[in-house]
Amino acid sequence: MPSGRPKKLKSIDSVDKITTPLKQKEIIQSVANALIIQDTPDLDIWSDENRFLPPETSSEHGKWRTSRFPFLRRVMKCLSASSIAREIVFVKGGQLGGTECAINWLLHSTVCEPGPSAYIQKTIDAVKAFVKQKFRPAIRHCSAVAYTLGDKKPTGYSNAILDMGYPGGFISFGPANSSDFLKSKSLLRGVLDEEDQYELSIDNQGSPRLMLKKRMANFPNSKLLRISTPVLKELSTIEPGFHEGSEELYYVPCPNCNPDASDTKFMFAIEHDNIKWSKEINPKTNAPIRVWCECPSCGYEIDESKHKTWMLKKGDWFSTKNYDDPETPLSRYRVGDVEFPSFRLPSFYSPLGFYSWYDAAHDFLEYKRTGDISLLQVYINQCCAETFSLTGSDIDHTGLYMRRESYSGSKNLFDVPNEGLCLTAGVDVQDDRLEVEVVAWGILEESWSIDYKVLPGDTALTGNIYGMLPNGQPTVWRLLHDYLSKRWRHESGVDMPVEVTMIDSGGHRSDEVHQFCRPRENLRIWPIKGQGGWGNGLWRRSTRRHEKYKTIDYRLFVDELKSKLYAFLRIQTPGPGYCHFPKKDVYSEKYFKGLTCERLQTRTVRGQQQLYWDTPPGARNEPLDCRNYAYAAFSAYGIDLFKRASVGLQSIFGSMARVKKIKLRKGSRGL
């Protein structure tokens, strides 16, 4: 197949004379559909001839070689018109050429099998980034698509960023969270990229995958590519998709006991358990001196640089799934051409020069060193290509209580240890009291709880402009004002203010919280409202002021925040993410019970698995809420602590007035 202008589009020239673009399009569509060439080259062959990896997007640019990613050949065969595959599931780790494979397919289709196509990613921003950074450069460097998507495309076809028309078809790019997009035109071909990051149901109309499949029902030869790094076990859709398909793993031979790669029985799939490392650690890189892959048959220590390329080349996809009889013991077999092929490939297969076994061992040991469960999740998801389960792993509150520490010695009394560089506070609002925690933040989110305070008082009473009641007593809001105005002694001798505070406005006292925050906006005392749900990040700042209170408020995605905090609490070694607690009476066992009282659980809602945080009846979770608000405050503040550490606190806080004067607006109800 020569590169450049494809043969079958020649007929299109003859319709150039027809003037109405609509009529032209119709004819081209029918011509293109009728002319789908029987000997269309398969995707792997076409890609080898026509695809070029642009220098701006690939660390290894130049001509695409499927032989560099031998495991992709079968996936690409399934995506070709010659295969009967309808739904292809590819569960993958990082650095395996998965996205390039999808790009190959979309480009190939415009030339070899035109038709309506859609490419989906989680959000519109992710889609735009993909088109700009990956897809457009790929078009520029592929002369074979010059007449369909490139600079020689006939006029009259959409050139919009997210809607590329071409003779006989189009590719629309859209987000998985828009039901409007998912319900529009009929489709011949669809790509669901990073599917495990999608919301499970869009506007209560079902999953993005089911909505897309409805759009593909009109085409008997439609193909759907589902490609994703798996994420959470409880919410994953790609993992069940893998189990519904042919469940294939890539088996490789051992260079020692199977040097001719002749005996497929002794081939094995590389998983975490096969990767071994020496005990000696390189102190500079914190990685082992030597890493190898152990053959499960003969125990041979396989050297990556010597043998990996050969192993990948000689490898093949096998299934251990028994379609016909679930009773018989599983045996490994080649699947052949099926309608629902599914593949799982960890990053241990990443070709030489990309992610190495050494990198994998380093990433795993980094988790072992820190105990940071979020590092383990990244390793399990992105390297092992497996889902990670968050539920069922409780945090031991007694362990947290036992590890409390004295921050200051008997001679030098201070509140904040040297490494704490910024103070934030979180306030939980109840009808009869306010609870507030002050937290110090250090480099890489290491934290020190400084103080926890319960301020009793009816939160419905706001008092006069000074926050005083007619009987001369201060309101609880006045007490909060005084508490937040307090300075905290840093180990260096500097007195530090609380720089950002977030207060919950979601309960009964929304009015009072907004009234308190409005005149204190320049002190960074911000109202927040908690919201459930996954995949939205940690917080979002409102784009316009509150209609009634004229405040800028924040939406906190509390499910994600709680996951983050619990990951921090599981870290056992001081360093990034570790939470320090002081030996103070307020940090009692009751406090730690409250901090750790919630459990991640799953439930089924309208047939969909949902992950949610469960609070046992009677549990007091205020410590958890306060801590989360203080963390969100720090996160939203976005301060560069590396810079602050290099400048020193003295120059920042040393000259600051003890209490900043609060400017009350005219007509404000004050405290």
Binding residues for Zn ion (CB under 5 A): 254, 256-257, 295, 297-298, 300
**Contact yes or no for 107/139 (Cβ under 8 A):** yes
Closest distance of CB 332 from Zn ion, Å: 16
Distance CA 65, CA 51 (A): 9
Instruction: Please identify, using beta-carbon distances, which residue of 212 and 295 lies nearer to Zn ion.
Output: 295
Closest distance of CB 74 from Zn ion, Å: 24
Instruction: Please identify, using beta-carbon distances, which residue of 127 and 295 lies nearer to Zn ion.
Output: 295
| Length of the chain measured in residues | 671
Closest distance of CB 325 from Zn ion, Å: 31
Closest distance of CB 295 from Zn ion, Å: 3
Closest distance of CB 256 from Zn ion, Å: 4
Closest distance of CB 291 from Zn ion, Å: 17
CA-angle at 629, arms to 624 and 633, nearest 5°: 150
Question: From its phi and psi, is residue 615 left (phi > 0), alpha (psi between -120 and 50) or beta?
Answer: beta
**Contact yes or no for 158/178 (Cβ under 8 A):** no
Instruction: Please identify, using beta-carbon distances, which residue of 226 and 307 lies nearer to Zn ion.
Output: 307
Closest distance of CB 632 from Zn ion, Å: 52
Listed residue (569, 498, 492, 557) closest to 528, CA to CA: 557
Closest distance of CB 314 from Zn ion, Å: 13
Instruction: Please identify, using beta-carbon distances, which residue of 175 and 255 lies nearer to Zn ion.
Output: 255
What are the angstrom distances between the C-alpha of 155 and each of 32, 108, 132, 289? 17, 21, 22, 59
Closest distance of CB 299 from Zn ion, Å: 7
Looking from the CA of 296 toward its CB, the CA atoms found within 13 Å total 14
CB-CB neighbours of 544 under 10 Å? 7
**Contact yes or no for 480/455 (Cβ under 8 A):** yes
Instruction: Please identify, using beta-carbon distances, which residue of 293 and 440 lies nearer to Zn ion.
Output: 293
Closest distance of CB 258 from Zn ion, Å: 6
Q: What residues contact residue 318 under an 8 Å CB cut-off, 6+ apart?
A: 248, 249, 251, 264, 267, 332, 333, 334, 335
- The tokens for 514 are 């907004």
Beta strands in 113-253 (DSSP E): 116-121, 159-160, 163-166, 169-175, 189-193, 223-228, 248-252
The counts of H helices and E strands in the chain are 20, 30
**Three-class SS of residue 284?**
coil
CA-angle at 484, arms to 481 and 485, nearest 5°: 85
Closest distance of CB 266 from Zn ion, Å: 7
**Contact yes or no for 348/278 (Cβ under 8 A):** no
What are the angstrom distances between the C-alpha of 441 and each of 212, 566, 618, 666? 45, 17, 31, 36
Instruction: Please identify, using beta-carbon distances, which residue of 58 and 309 lies nearer to Zn ion.
Output: 309
Tokens 């360093």 locate to: 575
- The tokens for 532 are 């459930």
**Partner residues linked to 316 by β-bridges:** 251
Instruction: Please identify, using beta-carbon distances, which residue of 267 and 632 lies nearer to Zn ion.
Output: 267
Distance CA 234, CA 536 (A): 17
- The tokens for 100 are 């390039």
Listed residue (582, 539, 581) closest to 564, CA to CA: 539
Q: Hey, what long-range contacts does 469-476 have (CB within 8 A, 24 or more apart)?
A: 475/671, 476/433, 476/434
Instruction: Please identify, using beta-carbon distances, which residue of 265 and 368 lies nearer to Zn ion.
Output: 265
**Three-class SS of residue 528?**
strand
Closest distance of CB 444 from Zn ion, Å: 42
Instruction: Please identify, using beta-carbon distances, which residue of 96 and 295 lies nearer to Zn ion.
Output: 295
Closest distance of CB 573 from Zn ion, Å: 37
Residue 541, amino acid:
R
